[in-house]
Amino acid sequence: MPIEPIIKILFIFSVMVMGLAPIITWIERKQSAVMQDRIGANRADLNGITILGLLHPAADVIKLMMKEDMVPEGANRVMHMLSPLIAAVPAIMAFAVIPFGGVYVFGDTTLNLVGADIDWGLLYIFVLGSIAAYGNVVAGWSSNNNWSMLGGLRASAQMISYEVTMGLTIVGIFMVFQTLRLSDMALAQDTSFRVLGFLDVHFGLNWAWIDWIRLPAWGIIYQPLGFLMFLTAVMAENKRPPFDLPEGESEIIAGYHLEYSGMRFGLFFMSEFIEIILIAALTTTLFLGGWAVPWLSTETIINGISSVMGTGFATGLCILIHFVSFLLKVIFMIWVQMLIRWSLPRFRYDQVMSLCWKILLPLSIANIFVTGAVLLWVKG
């Protein structure tokens, strides 16, 4: 068996999933505390050392493992046990197509920093996202509880509604980059474009300073409205506040995972945080240039370093720079999601549906037509 795919899988699972997901529980507590002028989590300690509350994620895991795992009377035991796995496993599998670096050449060896570089990578993520939603729906149905069932129905209605809109919001990105392969989308953003280039193309004003005014060729520059709509739709798909109506504690107690305890509840809990990382990584790849460094293409980095340190060292350092760039963008998008989570109150359910069908859906369709018209004009 080739060793490279195994290394990539272990890296994705250990760093992106098992590394960031527990820390996000700490980030959510601390960021909310800062925004609300509180101290935040600081009680869990080891010999009096609290490490800024970083021991709380470990304390949470121990607590969940020690809790009694109960199945309510009359519940469908098999589906009740499988539902947390249906919700968690697809979220982890989706990381297989997220590129955390580009393609690098070491002599006769080519290294591609993506688990599975498939042509339909974005569709793969959407399919897994739809499957994960079944875990929430089945959990509500199998629990033999009216409140859980209502939470499952809300989750299904929200998933069906925002799945359509989420797909339409990124059609503009397909049209701009002409591909569904995530690695190709990231590679297309590893460059910059002249903001005033139209003066040269249409009016023949070939002034030298025109080349100096450049912007990164990122998806958010081409599709700013698409970025805002996609982030809104994907957060609603993940049922994060202010779209957490399927878990509305003030209305339906705890929603679809009301009858879950112990590590089964922990799987639902962790799947939501894993999806936060996935949303951040996918948004980074589509709209924030992926692993690309602004105004510094891969060739620029390698050529600039290789003249002093050699090509092999320059390529290795470029890999490190690209991964750090990708990770910083992911952390920034996690911060943005937490900022939204602690800034806006929970919507009413009719407001959630109205936002999707009356605002986001028409805007996403209009964005497709405008993008098509602009592309035709530019190519013409």
Quick one: average pLDDT of 244-267?
Answer: 79
Whether the pLDDT of residue 19 is over 70: the answer is yes
Strands 214-216 and 103-106: unpaired
Query: Out of 6-10, 140-144, 254-258, 284-288, which region has the weakest mean confidence (pLDDT)?
Result: 6-10
Quick one: average pLDDT of 231-243?
Answer: 87
Q: Is 217 helix (H, G, I), strand (E, B) or coil?
A: coil
Q: Please answer whether residues 344 and 241 qualify as being in contact, where contact means their C-beta atoms are separated by less than 8 angstroms.
A: yes
Which pLDDT score is estimated for 4?
67
Higher pLDDT, 72 or 210: 72
Higher pLDDT, 272 or 250: 272
Which pLDDT score is estimated for 357?
92
In degrees rounded to 5, what are phi and psi of residue 105?
A: -115, 125
- 105-111 contacts: CB < 8 A, separation 24 or more? 105/315, 106/312, 106/315, 107/312, 111/4, 111/319
Which pLDDT score is estimated for 378?
80
Quick one: average pLDDT of 161-188?
Answer: 90
Which pLDDT score is estimated for 121?
84
Which pLDDT score is estimated for 233?
92
Which pLDDT score is estimated for 227?
95
Quick one: average pLDDT of 186-212?
Answer: 76
pLDDT-derived band at 231 (thresholds 50, 70, 90) equals very high
Q: Which amino acid is at 238?
A: N
Alpha-carbon gap, residue 76 to 223, rounded angstroms: 46
pLDDT-derived band at 360 (thresholds 50, 70, 90) equals very high
pLDDT-derived band at 16 (thresholds 50, 70, 90) equals low
Q: Which amino acid is at 200?
A: D
Higher pLDDT, 72 or 375: 375
Nearest Cα neighbor of 86 from 147, 155, 26 is 155
The two tokens of residue 100 are 């955390």
Alpha-carbon gap, residue 128 to 118, rounded angstroms: 15
Alpha-carbon gap, residue 357 to 117, rounded angstroms: 34
Quick one: average pLDDT of 17-33?
Answer: 81
Over the chain, what is the mean pLDDT?
A: 84
Strands 109-112 and 103-106: antiparallel
| Residues 6 or more apart whose Cβ sits within 8 Å of residue 373 | none
Q: Quick one: 244 exposed, middle or buried, by C-beta within 10 A (0-12, 13-18, 19+)? A: buried
pLDDT-derived band at 1 (thresholds 50, 70, 90) equals very low
Q: What is the DSSP letter of 13?
A: I
Which pLDDT score is estimated for 380?
65
